[in-house]
């Protein structure tokens, strides 16, 4: 009897302990929620007489992030910005990516933010971006580290521009791409553009040819990597984000293997490419060198291919612009003798092509916005930005602002014949973090368009359009029907 009573007593004690434990856990969760709300709510009231009007959303931590990131056509600003700008003006407050934020759709303020990098503002991307790009990526590093790595990237782009072999490689790959389409009636253009830009970059950086098995391996990993870059950041095996982190690790391992082989100094391994130049730089760590290679591959692969795709998309819906573009390139081709290659002088003569590319950047918005944070309290144009707040300059809102661009939603390359649009467009950012590969993207797109418009006619097969996710992509990959033109 004593044993039974003792067992029952012990049983109830254990049940009591469990109840206490559950109550303690609930209290802890409630306390954490109160603390989170206390941090969240003052942000809506503190400096309320100075900071822009806006809404902080109804969700702790998330705020209005989901609404802000809702996919929309990249040649529009989306419902979130439309509603907030109409209600609060071009500069407003919100709560995004876990912190209070100022969103700027004002070109003057955007330029002020970009030009004051490391003085009043600093690059500040969410932690999941660091996890997938790496802590030494040009996109996330700040201060002297960024300056040093960016100078290396600039040396690559400057070397390419002045190297006739680079222009020859662009044309060689373009012609190869055009020839591979000869027996096709349809291609998924985004896939073709990505293969083209990737093959070009690995050729310049690693001296790899498209038929190299290692090149195919890196491309496959890069495709996995890109899918995860725009996914929900859940580092769980099997998720797009988790697969992307592993894909990046594989790419790093492959690049390190190539670097080790080059570093052995074996005869015949020296390629005199950018990797050899990079390996000779003793001021950058091995991890930094790998990160630069990945950044250059990523920038050359994704940004340029999307620019090419948006140009083809808008030209496919503007026969007048396409006819004008074709006429320009026919004149250039007629000046060449016996299949002579394009050169730098030809590129400089592609005036209307430059207009088309600039307009595709304005309408397509390859980069919608960037992340910054205020390093101190900042006052500009009557607005107060508190120290520590996230700041997001939104480029797409400026590019599509009807007060800055007449018929802003229309694809109109001729607007670039007048100089005014240049002042109100920043497709590659600005200030000390201006994209180092901007000119290369334009050169590659120009050469590709030259051969495309002279070789093929095309129509957009399905109702597909560029979407901001926030990075631009075509949901169906931009399938186009193609028809080989008479070479005469």
Statement: residue 318 has pLDDT above 50: yes
Report pLDDT digits (tens) over 88-116. 999 999 999 989 999 999 999 999 999 99
- E strand or H helix at 91: strand 91-96
> Which tokens go with 298?
């990523």
CA distance 108 to 87: 20
Length of the chain: 488
Q: Which helix or strand (DSSP H or E) is residue 100 part of?
A: strand 99-104
Cβ within 8 Å of residue 266, ≥6 positions away: none
Which of 288-292, 333-337, 351-355 holds the top average pLDDT? 351-355
pTM of the model: 0.86
From the number of C-beta atoms within 10 Å of its C-beta (0-12, 13-18, 19+), residue 235 rates as middle
Name the 3-class secondary structure at 442: helix
The Cα–Cα gap between 93 and 96 comes to 9
DSSP run (H or E) holding 292: helix 286-298
N- to C-terminal Cα separation, the chain: 108
Q: Is the pLDDT of residue 253 over 80?
A: yes
Look at 42-56, 178-192, 381-395 and tell me which has the smallest mean pLDDT. 42-56
Average pLDDT, the chain: 86
Cα 20 from Cα 227, distance rounded (Å) = 45
The DSSP 8-state label assigned to residue 471 in this structure reads: S
For the ranges 31-45, 178-192, 262-276, 378-392, which has the lowest average pLDDT?
Answer: 31-45
Structure confidence by residue, pLDDT tens digits, 168-194 = 999 999 999 999 999 999 999 999 999
Alpha-carbon Rg for the chain in angstroms: 26
Q: Where in 38-160 does DSSP place strands (E)? A: 72-73, 91-96, 99-104, 121-123
Annotated binding residue 435: yes
């Amino acid at each position: 009897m004593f044993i039974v009573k003792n067992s029952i007593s012990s049983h109830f004690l254990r049940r009591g302990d469990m109840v206490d434990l559950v109550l303690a856990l609930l209290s802890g969760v409630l306390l954490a929620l109160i603390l989170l709300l206390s941090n969240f709510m003052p942000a809506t009231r503190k400096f309320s007489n100075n900071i822009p009007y806006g809404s902080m959303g109804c969700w702790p931590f998330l705020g209005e992030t989901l609404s802000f990131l809702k996919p929309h056509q990249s040649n529009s600003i989306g419902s979130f910005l439309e509603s907030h700008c109409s209600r609060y003006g071009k500069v407003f407050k919100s709560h995004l990516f876990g912190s209070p934020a100022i969103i700027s759709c004002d070109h003057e303020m955007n330029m002020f933010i970009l030009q004051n990098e490391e003085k009043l503002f600093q690059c500040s991307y969410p932690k999941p971006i660091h996890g997938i790009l790496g802590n030494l990526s040009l996109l996330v590093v700040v201060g002297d580290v960024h300056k040093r790595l960016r100078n290396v990237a600039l040396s690559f782009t400057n070397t390419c521009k002045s190297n006739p072999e680079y222009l020859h490689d662009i044309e060689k790959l373009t012609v190869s791409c055009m020839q591979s389409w000869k027996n096709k009636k349809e291609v998924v253009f985004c896939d073709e553009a990505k293969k083209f830009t990737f093959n070009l970059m690995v050729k310049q950086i690693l001296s790899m040819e498209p038929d190299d098995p290692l090149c195919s391996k890196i491309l496959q990993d890069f495709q996995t990597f890109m899918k995860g870059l725009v996914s929900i950041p859940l580092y769980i095996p099997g998720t797009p984000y988790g697969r992307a982190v592993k894909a990046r690790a594989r790419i790093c391992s492959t690049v390190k293997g190539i670097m080790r082989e080059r570093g052995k100094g074996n005869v015949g391994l020296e390629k005199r490419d950018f990797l050899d130049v990079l390996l000779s730089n003793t001021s950058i760590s091995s991890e930094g060198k790998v990160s630069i290679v990945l950044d250059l591959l990523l920038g050359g692969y994704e940004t340029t291919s999307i620019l090419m795709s948006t140009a083809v998309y808008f030209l496919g819906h503007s026969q007048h612009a396409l006819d004008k573009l074709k006429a320009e390139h026919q004149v250039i081709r007629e000046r060449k003798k016996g299949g002579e290659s394009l050169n730098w002088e030809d590129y400089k003569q592609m005036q209307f092509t430059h207009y088309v590319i600039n307009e595709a950047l304005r309408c397509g918005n390859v980069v919608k916005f960037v992340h910054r944070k205020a390093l101190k309290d900042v006052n500009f144009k009557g607005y107060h930005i508190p120290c520590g707040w996230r700041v997001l300059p939104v480029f797409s809102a400026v590019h599509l602002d009807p007060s800055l661009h007449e018929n802003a939603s229309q694809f109109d390359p001729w607007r670039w014949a007048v100089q005014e649009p240049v002042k109100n467009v920043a497709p590659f950012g600005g200030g000390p973090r201006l994209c180092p590969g901007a000119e290369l993207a334009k050169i590659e797109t120009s050469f590709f368009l030259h051969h495309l418009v002279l070789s093929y006619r095309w129509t957009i097969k399905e109702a597909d359009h560029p979407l901001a996710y926030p990075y631009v992509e075509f949901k169906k990959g931009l399938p186009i029907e193609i028809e080989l033109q008479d070479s005469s």
